[in-house]
Each structure stands twice: as C-alpha cells, then as structure tokens.
Amino acid sequence: MLRMPEFTLERPRSLAQAIALLSEHGPAALPIAGGTDLVPNLKHELFTPSVLVALEHVPELRGVRVEDDGALSIGAMTRLAEVAIHPDVVARAPALAQAASLVAGPQLRTMGTLGGNVLLDTRCQWYNQTYFWREALGFCLKKDGALCHVVAGGQKCVAAASNDTAPALMTLGAVLELEGPDGPREVKLDEFWVSDGIRNKKLAQGELLVRIRVPAQRAGHRGAYGKLRERGSIDFPLLGVAARVDVERGAGGDERIAAADLCIVALAARPLRVKRVAEALIGKSARGPELEAAIEAVADLAYKQCHPLANIPGDADWRKEMVPVYVRRTLFAAVTGSGPVHHV
Ligand SMILES: Cc1cc2nc3c(=O)[nH]c(=O)nc-3n(C[C@H](O)[C@H](O)[C@H](O)COP(=O)(O)OP(=O)(O)OC[C@H]3O[C@@H](n4cnc5c(N)ncnc54)[C@H](O)[C@@H]3O)c2cc1C
Ligand code: SF4
C-alpha cells in the first residue's frame, strides 16, 4: 500500500490568506484543490511538500457567472462535474463542457476542479510511477535523475500535457486570472505554456489561478471535444482534440464557416494548435461535399503536424494513425452540434 507522506494542512478562508500562506512557506508549500492528481503524486513522492494549502474554502475561487460583456467567468475551484453540465458553459463554451464531461470518471469529476485540470502536471509512463519503480529504472530528468527514457540521449523532458480542458479552452481564447504575492495579472492561455515537460507553465512561485475567463463568442459559435483513451470509463487522454467551427448565414441563406481552430493534447509538453486550420475551413460551406473536402484537408494537416511519442501509454504509431480519425470526427461533431466524440 502506498502511504501518504506527513504534511501540515492549512485551510485559508480568503484569497489573501491563501497567498500569504504560500508566501510564508515558499517552495515547501503547495496548493491543493480537489487533490485528484496531487494526492497520487504525493504518494508516488513526485512532490514532497511539508505544507498543503487547501483552496476549498476560498470564496474568490468559486462560482460560474456571465459578465456584462458576455464573457463567461469560471472560478478555479469549480468542479468538473459542474462545468460539464452548467447551462451557461454548455451554451457558450460547448467544447469545454464536453471536455470536462470526459475527464477521468464520475467520482474524480465530482472532486476535481477546472483550475486543477488547467494546472495538471505533465504525464509520462516513466514518471507517474512509485518511487521504488522509478528508482529501479535509475529515475529520469523530470525527477531525481539525469536521463530521458523516451528520447534516447534527450536533454529535454517531453512528458505530455494531458489535461482535457486545456485544448478546449485554447480554441475558446480563454484568459487566466492569476494572483500571487506581486498582485493580480492576466495571461492568455495560449501564452501560458512552455515546451518543457518538467514544468510546462508560466506560473510563478506562490501564484494562484483564481478564475478562467472565456470571452463572449459569436452567435454561430460551435465547438466539440473528441477523446481517444483505452477505457472510456476513466482513462487520461491518449489524444484529446478540441475543435471550434463558427458558422454564419451567407447572403444566399447558406451556412458558411466564419472561424475555425483545432488544438490537440496528449502529444508533447504543451497542447498543440494545428496550423493553417482557419485557412482550410473559413468560407467553406457548413455542409455537403465542400465541407467534407475541407475537413479532409484539415485531417491531413493534423496528421502531418502531430507526432505522438512513447511518453504516455498506447503505441505511438497507432496514436498517430488515430489523429486524422479523431480530427475528422470532432470537426463534424462541432459543425453538427453532435459532440462529444469518444467510445465507451
Ligand atoms: C484515475 C485517474 C484518472 C484521471 N483521468 C484524467 C483525465 O482523463 N483527464 C484529465 O485531464 N485528468 C485526469 N485525471 C487527473 C485529475 O483528476 C484532473 O486533472 C483534475 O481536474 C485535477 O483537478 P484537482 O482539483 O483534483 O487538482 P489537484 O490535484 O488538487 O491539483 C493539481 C495541481 O494543480 C495545482 N493547483 C490546483 N488548483 C490550483 C490553483 N487554483 N492555483 C494554483 N495551483 C493550483 C496543485 O498544486 C497541483 O499541482 C485523472 C486522475 C486519476 C487519479
Ligand atoms: S519524457 Fe518521461 S522519461 Fe523523459 S524525462 Fe520526461 S518524464 Fe522522464
């Protein structure tokens, strides 16, 4: 049985108190939200904090609301189960609601939060293991060692960003509202990532994610999320595809694509935005052979730009062949409003 290490639990009642506690204890302290990722990581001795600062009772991190400008503001402590079914999220950010609905299983979505999902540590089959297992292998660059088991001779960790909601939020143009000892700041989610599996986000020491803001979308906004995984009931993504396909009615009354985006997770250290998707889709009909040809072109772009590695389970060649399959299905699901795309 894996045991929990000893730590002190702090329970602040305000954002200011939480930030003060994190500043006071420095690198010895970590925030804990739902704990669904942090607790297994503590048991695996991947993190060894002596203080945990629970975010459970911090009111500033709670609640879903629509701002005056139509933006959706979601508190970092909002549970994934709520994000998945909240009427404002479903209506304004369908790809996000669908991605949240496919994270892990029901119990984990009941505890796990949107903030914890955005800030999820990268994953690797050589890293998310017990201390005993990792020690037997000589550890690795990400923790306690000096070599990478995925890229022979590699000097950079390529553990995979595996958070389902990240690509969905990227297609929605989400902004993170952060606050730390130096005060509040905002960063576009696109600009938050770093291509380094050891630490793939620009989050300062002691800084907290307070809220996630999804700007108002155009009237014809459509989105979907598609997820490949071994067991539909619980697993992390082997591939997570978020699509945005906004549609407008043209002068002739036909529906045409007005905006498009495609972001993919579970490849490398940061979520990937597939390039030239807007060029391939904007202006095309939202139905029939013209749509099918445009989607086929995007599936081909994604196939060429995505390079799954042996960092997470699932044969990398098979995962590559699944890229165009899931891109095609997810784009059709976005246009037709029939997502999410997954198997059970
Ligand atoms: C069996 C299993 C299956 C899973 N499957 C999936 C899956 O399919 N897809 C997926 O995306 N995830 C999956 N997870 C991981 C996890 O359940 C989710 O990612 C969840 O959303 C994490 O949220 P949390 O609130 O539990 O985060 P926590 O575990 O509490 O925290 C995660 C990290 O974020 C930090 N943190 C949390 N909130 C804040 C904040 N507001 N400000 C600053 N730092 C913060 C913590 O310090 C920690 O480093 C799975 C986990 C398990 C155990
Ligand atoms: S990719 Fe995996 S094996 Fe390589 S350094 Fe990162 S965690 Fe370790």
**Residue 314: which CATH number?**
3.30.390.50
User: In total, how many domains does the chain have?
Assistant: 3
Residue 126 near ligand 2, beta carbon < 6 Å? yes
Integer Cα distance of 31 and 37 in angstroms: 12
What percentage of the chain reaches a pLDDT higher than 70? 100
| pLDDT score for 243 | 98
Task: Note the pLDDT tens digit of each residue in 58-100.
Answer: 999 999 999 999 999 999 999 999 999 999 999 999 999 999 9
Residue 115 Cα to ligand 1 middle (Å): 8
Strand duo 51-54 + 64-66: pairing: unpaired
309 has a pLDDT exceeding 70: yes
Contact 250, 273 (CB under 8 A): no
Q: What residues does 241 pair with on adjacent strands? A: 226, 264
Integer Cα distance of 257 and 50 in angstroms: 52
Residue nearest to atom 8 of ligand 2 (CA): 140
Whether residues 289 and 205 share a domain: the answer is no
Q: Which of 121, 307, 311, 312 to mutate to test the pocket of ligand 2 (most atoms within 8 A of CB)?
A: 311
8-state DSSP, 218:
P
Residues with Cβ within 8 Å of 295's Cβ and at least 6 positions away in sequence, in order, are 281, 327, 328, 331, 332
Q: Looking at residues 305-333, what average pLDDT do you find?
A: 97
Q: Residue 210 CA: which ligand 1 atom is closest?
A: 41
Residue 252 Cα to ligand 1 middle (Å): 47
258 assigned to some structural domain = yes
- Here the CATH number for the domain that contains residue 37 is 3.30.43.10
Whether residues 52 and 99 share a domain: the answer is no
Q: Looking at residues 166-191, what average pLDDT do you find?
A: 98
Whether residues 54 and 81 share a domain: the answer is no
Contact 311, 265 (CB under 8 A): no
344 has a pLDDT exceeding 70: no
Whether residues 295 and 319 share a domain: the answer is yes
Whether residues 200 and 276 share a domain: the answer is no
Q: Looking at residues 239-245, what average pLDDT do you find?
A: 98
Whether residues 55 and 105 share a domain: the answer is no
Handedness of CA 337, 261, 81, 15 (dihedral sign): negative
Whether residues 65 and 197 share a domain: the answer is yes
Helix (H, G, I), strand (E, B) or coil at 169: helix
Q: Residue 47 CA: which ligand 1 atom is closest?
A: 49
Average pLDDT, the chain: 97
203 assigned to some structural domain = yes
Residue 156 Cα to ligand 2 middle (Å): 8
Handedness of CA 180, 183, 189, 192 (dihedral sign): negative
Q: Which of 36, 51, 312 to mutate to test the pocket of ligand 1 (most atoms within 8 A of CB)?
A: 36
198 has a pLDDT exceeding 90: yes
228 assigned to some structural domain = yes
37 assigned to some structural domain = yes
205 pLDDT tier (thresholds 50, 70, 90): very high
Whether residues 228 and 326 share a domain: the answer is yes
Residue nearest to atom 3 of ligand 1 (CA): 104
Q: What residues does 211 pair with on adjacent strands? A: 75, 177
Contact 172, 214 (CB under 8 A): yes
Residue 124 near ligand 2, beta carbon < 6 Å? yes
Task: Note the pLDDT tens digit of each residue in 107-142.
Answer: 999 999 999 999 999 999 999 999 999 999 999 999
Residue 39 Cα to ligand 2 middle (Å): 20
Whether residues 278 and 323 share a domain: the answer is yes
85 assigned to some structural domain = yes
Q: Looking at residues 209-232, what average pLDDT do you find?
A: 97
Q: Please return the burial class of 338, using the count of CB atoms within 10 Å of its CB with bins 0-12, 13-18 and 19+.
A: exposed
341 assigned to some structural domain = no
Evaluate the omega torsion of the peptide bond into residue 340 and state whether it is cis, within 30 degrees of 0: yes
Strand duo 64-66 + 223-228: pairing: unpaired
Residue 159 near ligand 2, beta carbon < 6 Å? yes
Whether residues 167 and 87 share a domain: the answer is yes
Integer Cα distance of 200 and 183 in angstroms: 22
The range of the structural domain enclosing residue 36 comes to 1-59
Whether residues 269 and 328 share a domain: the answer is yes
Phi, psi for residue 278 in degrees, rounded to 5: -60, -45
What percentage of the chain reaches a pLDDT higher than 90? 96
Residue 23 Cα to ligand 2 middle (Å): 30
292 has a pLDDT exceeding 80: yes
Residue nearest to atom 19 of ligand 1 (CA): 117
